[in-house]
Structure 1
């Protein structure tokens, strides 16, 4: 099978996106050596991607348009000869290949208040172009249900295939980040600091309830460009915004926190939940469908209610640490296997349809 994979984010983009692309490409190449795998990447990244590919039998197809959505819509389908094009979020408008599009979420459709007008305009191309997809892949059953709910015309195409933990995290060595934190002596929140991640309400809740102190702070990992960070007094050592950290430091923080708290208002997946679970962290999470699916044994709270957040945190801190809940996460080999099986089935259906027309 000739596979063209949209690897636009392999070099630049959000850390989670880069790590997912890296894991997907390496796993497909290693587990499906008979397939001809080609990655489509921005022309400016070709040299760096050659370094990442190394000796692996992976072709490179440069694309030139930006942003990502425009590139997928206009040029991905013709970037290389393929039996299947696996795109992310957007679907190529023209290609003879089977179109399989991984939609990470359609949150903007259900919660437009989380996004700017410009973001909503850009994201609108996702469900619009997905009408041309042969398959719509997504990470969780919760997100598959959302896609079917907000875009009923896509319901018959949606297949939840999961997402694995990036190999760079699984293989990491936990390293103390040198922040002066005592093992078991801090609360942890991980994620981008935007309105949807709800960090401000978490900070409000734990400060008002007296659940954090300079000796047991809330540590927030994520770039400090959100409203929560902007309003926070940097001299208040009860809450510490530490910015981005590498995988080794992140693993240490997960493994040594007293409690991992994730107050996000909505998610299609929730990689920090999975990482925290694999690191053995006790958890208090927003009561949203994706988190119920990923970590059903966690403590849950209403993310819109500071009192509910504080109550869940207080309960968890009142006794010995709760066992880390088991997380529902497949290995990358399973994810790739599910995608390939879905693609093979659709290719067979397409062949049967063509033969029936003769």
Structure 2
């Protein structure tokens, strides 16, 4: 069985969400293979890239280059992939071209956010943004895309439930959850030991974009209700974003970082009171796992996927209720409560791993092993 992982969404220099997912899964698959894990017995791994610079962010595996995923050639990319003679391909997106394919294929759905929040990511080419909006005006295009595959992968039980609710595919749906690289257990243990100072730090962290569905406005309003607190907004922002958010609540203490390195991000998590996010919708929520892995509690909107990720460790508030967010943060000023949430957070973060996600995909592929390559 020759299994190829579509790594064309890997970012150059620094991961975003889908890029991190791709690298996490393919790295864990390689680790299983290197360990002669029975889950990948008889499977040969390879990667598909569209830019050789992507290899810097990926493990050492055989690879081949084809056109990019946003190229006008994408509908016919399977003809390029056929020349690599894979038996199966796993793509981290649902949009991989399939015309003429001669291999088994699993497509990935990360979320269904853009049906209710149709504004596309700002970094996409103009023609892709137009197609994006048209695509999300109805459910039938999604059904057509997903039913071209042999299986569908998704990153959370919440999204799998939504796929079933909207009857988006007749194919098997496998959950291979997102995860994060966790610091050592000693880092989280130190956080719990610092409960008194961390509870009094009055430092909040937000890691995420400023798109409408992220609902950063509620966090800003909550910050204005928390005297002495500083809300650190870590991702890249535009002057317009900053001006708009400062105007919402002039009393809020906001610090815009304009992007941070992983080291800066982790250092800030290790001295903060909590990570906060008020998203109206998400497919997952990697920052929650990252924060909890450091033993830093999270205060998040009460949406199904955050219940799935945060479990009993997180504190929840209605997405649009700034006062409820502020009250949840204030509750963490109790050092004993902060310590309890810190310990619970690390335990919850440890339930997510790339190895578990790789195994879910390996189990899917094992069901295809021994069958003739699709012609």
Please classify the TM superposition score into its range, dividing by the shorter chain length: 0.7 to 0.9
Query: How many residues in Structure 1 have an aligned counterpart in Structure 2?
Result: 331
Look up the match of 2:29: 28
Cα deviation, residue 128, structure 1 = 2.8
Describe how 1:126-141 pairs up with structure 2 within 5 A: 126-141=142-157
Describe how 1:248-287 pairs up with structure 2 within 5 A: 248-287=263-302
Look up the match of 1:142: 158
Deviates more, 1:115-124 or 1:136-145: 115-124
Aligned pair partner of 1:40 in 31, 36, 48: 48
**Structure 1 pair 197/157, CA: closer, same or farther in 2 (3 Å)?**
same
Aligned pair partner of 1:343 in 365, 368, 375: 365
Look up the match of 1:10: 10
Cα deviation, residue 331, structure 1 = 2.0
Residue 230 (structure 2) pairs with residue 217 (structure 1): yes
Cα deviation, residue 170, structure 1 = 4.5
Residue 318 (structure 2) pairs with residue 302 (structure 1): yes
SS in 1 for 2:330: helix
Q: Give me the TM-score of the superposition, normalised by structure 1.
A: 0.81
Look up the match of 1:93: 98
* In 2: Cα distance, 1:67 partner to 1:286 partner: 33
Residue 215 (structure 2) pairs with residue 198 (structure 1): yes
Look up the match of 1:120: 133
Residues 196 and 266 in structure 1, CA contact (< 8 A), matched pair in contact too: yes
SS in 1 for 2:21: helix
Residues 200 and 228 in structure 1, CA contact (< 8 A), matched pair in contact too: no
Deviations 1:168-201 (A, max 9, x none): x658x99xxxxxxx96341111111211111122
* In 2: Cα distance, 1:284 partner to 1:237 partner: 18
Deviates more, 1:87-96 or 1:139-148: 87-96
* In 2: Cα distance, 1:105 partner to 1:63 partner: 26
* In 1: Cα distance, 2:56 partner to 2:113 partner: 35
SS in 2 for 1:310: helix
Residues 299 and 315 in structure 2, CA contact (< 8 A), matched pair in contact too: yes
Residues 218 and 238 in structure 1, CA contact (< 8 A), matched pair in contact too: yes
Look up the match of 1:82: 86
Residues 269 and 275 in structure 2, CA contact (< 8 A), matched pair in contact too: yes
CA root-mean-square deviation: 3.2
Runs of at least 5 residues in structure 1 that lack an aligned partner in the other structure: 175-181
Cα deviation, residue 156, structure 1 = 4.7
* In 2: Cα distance, 1:278 partner to 1:32 partner: 26
Cα deviation, residue 6, structure 1 = 1.1
SS in 2 for 1:223: coil
Look up the match of 1:323: 341
Residues 49 and 66 in structure 2, CA contact (< 8 A), matched pair in contact too: yes
Q: Give me the TM-score of the superposition, normalised by structure 2.
A: 0.77
Residues 91 and 132 in structure 1, CA contact (< 8 A), matched pair in contact too: no
Runs of at least 5 residues in structure 2 that lack an aligned partner in the other structure: 35-41, 122-128, 188-196
Aligned pair partner of 2:169 in 143, 146, 154: 154
SS in 2 for 1:269: coil
| Bigger RCO of structures 1 and 2 (CA < 8 A, at least 6 apart) | 2
* In 2: Cα distance, 1:310 partner to 1:194 partner: 22
**Structure 1 pair 270/72, CA: closer, same or farther in 2 (3 Å)?**
farther
Residue 305 (structure 2) pairs with residue 290 (structure 1): yes
Cα deviation, residue 346, structure 1 = 4.4
Aligned pair partner of 1:60 in 60, 63, 66: 63
Deviations 1:291-322 (A, max 9, x none): 10111111111112223323322333366525
**Structure 1 pair 268/253, CA: closer, same or farther in 2 (3 Å)?**
same
**Structure 1 pair 77/295, CA: closer, same or farther in 2 (3 Å)?**
farther
**Structure 1 pair 335/65, CA: closer, same or farther in 2 (3 Å)?**
closer
Residues 6 and 49 in structure 2, CA contact (< 8 A), matched pair in contact too: yes
Deviations 1:193-230 (A, max 9, x none): 211111122102221x2x043xx311111111386523
Residues 302 and 319 in structure 2, CA contact (< 8 A), matched pair in contact too: yes
